[in-house]
Structure 1
Amino acid sequence: MIAALTGTIFHKLPGSVIVDVRGVGYEVQVSGRTYDRLPSTGEETFLYIHTSVREDAITLYGFSEPEEKELFLLLNTVSGVGPKLALSILSGISAAELCEAISMKNLSRLVALSGVGKKTAQRLCMELGEKVGALAGGWDGGDLETAAPAAVEGHAMQDAASALVNLGYPQNMAWQALRSVQQHDPEAAAAMKVEELIREALQVLAR
């Protein structure tokens, strides 16, 4: 089983990346957050890998942080949550905030994530409530990047992302555009209303 890859970025698109390891290209599925952390094409990267082996396919899922990989595997144990939805969830929320939302049974935060309905949110809380607490307790805080961004993402950013998805943009692209807006001027982005975030993100997507 492939557990990690170190190589150069050969090609990348929101949702997937091809990593060249000594002349062999590995296609890896990634979340929006991992995609945002990837270096430019031609530069070296390291990814934690989960290898999924099925009768009809072998799929690699890559993560920039071990915490994200652990949560991905945990999410896949929940009834009705497969790899695609797990990556979608991890694209819209940080590892620490997801653990907090599940532990606190914050259904409104969970259903705000693309693809998560009320029943799925309830299952996440019921099946993972104790597990995420134990999982987060073993982390050293390296991935807990929730402080400023999470507060914004939990409200206007999340609503703006959902609106962009409804307009037909892939979720990874929507979040990439919104984070670009946020990184350009964090203070201004934090004060923006949903409509303003959407407008700014659309300008980024049109470039």
Structure 2
Amino acid sequence: MIGRLRGCLLEKTAPEVLIECNGVGYEVTMPMTSIYTLPEINQEAIVYIHFVVREDAQLLYGFANKTERKLFRLLMKVNGVGPKLGLAILSSMSADQFVSCVIHDDLSTIVKIPGVGKKTAERLLIEMRDRLKDWQLDTSSSEIDNIIVPNQIENTFVNDERGDAINALISLGYNQSQADKAVKSVFEKGMKSENIIRNALKAM
């Protein structure tokens, strides 16, 4: 079982990255909160892995730290929550921000995450409450003022840094029009895709 990867970051195309470890390239899917913490391309990166084996695929989900991975694994135990929804939650807020929502029964914030309807949000609050009762919040990051709340997902693909940013926003749940408009409003020549994404999210 793969629990951690340490190697050269070859590609960073949100929500996926490619890390080379001893000559082997591993494709890893990560939430945006973790991608923001990664170093520049061709620098060494350390990613904590949740490894999923299916009949048709072996999937690697990566996280910047063990805390994010721990919450992801707890989310997988909730009825109706799979890896895609778990990544959407952790792309919209940090682990401590989500825990804060659970502690304060903040249904209105949870329900704004793409793919989380009212019933799913209620189930998350109920089932996660006991699992998170001993969670130690980092008070410096538990505030929920900067939570990302995307809308419905649409599938479309374009290339280059600006296109990568648009694709990443769409993968978070923004529609094509919203993603195009937000990226256009912040894009400057020479910007890296992760900077475009960060600025676009702030603009929205």
TM-score interval, smaller chain: 0.7 to 0.9
The aligned residue for residue 77 of structure 1 is: 77
Query: Of Structure 1 and Structure 2, which has the larger fraction of its residues in helix?
Result: 1
The aligned residue for residue 2 of structure 1 is: 2
Q: Does 1:173 align with 2:169?
A: yes
The aligned residue for residue 127 of structure 2 is: 127
Distance in 2 between the 1:80 and 1:44 partners?
36
Q: Specify every segment of 5 or more residues in structure 1 that has no aligned partner in the other structure, as ranges.
A: 177-194
Shift in CA distance, 36/173, structure 1 to aligned 2, threshold 3 Å: farther
The aligned residue for residue 193 of structure 2 is: none
Q: SS of 2:132's equivalent?
A: helix
Question: CA offsets, 1:125-167, max 9 Å, x none?
Answer: 1111111122x23x6x39x5344xx3133xxx53xx438x679
The aligned residue for residue 17 of structure 2 is: 17
Q: Does 1:44 align with 2:44?
A: yes
Distance in 1 between the 2:43 and 2:146 partners?
31
Mapping of residues 126-205 of structure 1, within 5 Å: 126-134=126-134, 136-137=135-136, 141=138, 145-147=141-143, 150-153=144-147, 158=149, 161-162=150-151, 169-170=166-167, 172-173=168-169, 201-204=183-186
Shift in CA distance, 152/199, structure 1 to aligned 2, threshold 3 Å: farther
Distance in 1 between the 2:146 and 2:48 partners?
28
Q: Which amino acid aligns with 1:203?
A: S
Distance in 1 between the 2:42 and 2:116 partners?
35
Q: Please give the TM-score of this superposition, normalised by the length of structure 2.
A: 0.75
Shift in CA distance, 78/202, structure 1 to aligned 2, threshold 3 Å: farther
Q: Please give the TM-score of this superposition, normalised by the length of structure 1.
A: 0.74
Counting matched residue pairs gives: 175
RMSD across aligned C-alpha pairs, in angstroms? Answer: 2.8
The aligned residue for residue 201 of structure 2 is: none
Q: Which amino acid aligns with 2:141?
A: E
